Amino acid sequence: MPMVFDRIAIIGVGLIGASIARAARQHGAANTIALYDANAEVRERARALALGEVFDDPEKAVAKAELVVLATPVGAMGAAAAACARGLKIGAIVTDVGSVKQAVISAVAAVLPTYVYFVPGHPLAGTEHSGPDAGFATLFHNRWQILTPLPDQGPSYPAAVDQLEEFWRALGANVERMDAERHDVVLAVTSHLPHLIAFNIVAMAEDLESVTESEVVKYSASGFRDFTRIAASDPTMWRDVFLNNREAVLEVLGRFSEDLAALQRAIRWGEGDTLYDLFDRARRMRREVIEAGQDTPAPNWGREN
């Protein structure tokens, strides 16, 4: 696939930022990659990993970049955009990777100059690891990249959205466009609530008086083990997600609490058919996820033991 941008800048060099840098180089989607992170130690590590040209000033990092990717935690997106705003070239495309869209749009759009194109986005890809060392070039392969273009942005805006879509496809992602409000509800169901449940279950197990922490660790069955994998995700990132998508999360959490109460009653009253029907529906959903290519049926999900 041909080069999409001559020069890109990535603000924030964690898992996603480092993976974008590696993927853009591997697939030839960008000729030059500029990087900046607010953490000096992360900048030094990015230099050691040769992820791109690392700058100590965000304005210098974005200078001459045709695409600027904000890859910070959701709560830092507005500050990151403001820090590099004066260095943005006319006609640059600015995007983000936040898993909350409405709050990010409000924070970022308010500080960007009118002569750039802001196209919010969210790659549905990641691992429980964080930092520049965690990045890898194939992270986005066959994963969904959701773009939430802004309405009423002028006649040249659609071409910028198309170019950004081409970039993500060059990195191996599938691309879909969606309204920002709908995105936040969908992600509350598919990502935010599952993480919240995992965080809570792992913390609850640690607090139980009837079971020691060493027993929880030693006898972790597959279910709890996988919850700990999810719960190992970056706490700063997830704190910001829940604070910035609280309405959608609380709406979905309310529905979950009602369904959980019904399940509790079914267990109490021995309603085996109710339990079986629920488990069967969930099992079918798992098969659909595999058939959609979003996971593998390999033993242990294809992960190393």
Taking only the tens place, the pLDDT of each residue in 175-213 is 999 999 999 999 999 999 999 999 998 888 888 767 777
SS3 250: helix
Which stretch of 55-64, 208-217, 272-281 has the lowest confidence by average pLDDT? 208-217
First to last CA, the chain: 35
Of 127, 76, 125, the closest CA to residue 239 belongs to: 76
Rg (CA), the chain: 21
Please compute the mean of the pLDDT values over residues 293-305 and round it to a whole number. Answer: 62
Higher pLDDT, 209 or 85: 85
Does the pLDDT of residue 292 top 80, yes or no?
no
* Contact status, residue 133 vs residue 42, Cβ threshold 8 Å: no
Cα gap 204→245, rounded to integer Å: 24
pLDDT in tens, 224-274: 888 888 888 889 888 999 999 999 999 999 999 999 999 999 999 999 999
Cα gap 281→270, rounded to integer Å: 19
Higher pLDDT, 222 or 71: 71
Strands (E), the chain: 5-11, 30-36, 53-54, 67-70, 93-96, 117-118, 121-123, 144-147, 174-177
Q: What is the value of pTM for the model shown?
A: 0.88
* Contact status, residue 144 vs residue 169, Cβ threshold 8 Å: no
Please compute the mean of the pLDDT values over residues 102-119 and round it to a whole number. Answer: 97
Cα gap 291→287, rounded to integer Å: 6
Half-sphere exposure of 106 (CA within 13 A, CB side): 8
Q: In the prediction, which pLDDT does 300 show?
A: 56
Cα gap 197→231, rounded to integer Å: 9
Q: In the prediction, which pLDDT does 206 show?
A: 80
* Contact status, residue 219 vs residue 137, Cβ threshold 8 Å: no
Cα gap 305→227, rounded to integer Å: 16
Cα gap 234→238, rounded to integer Å: 6
To which H or E segment does residue 275 belong? helix 272-291
Q: In the prediction, which pLDDT does 286 show?
A: 85
Other CB atoms within 10 A of residue 22 CB: 21
pLDDT band at 303 (very low <50, low <70, confident <90, very high): low
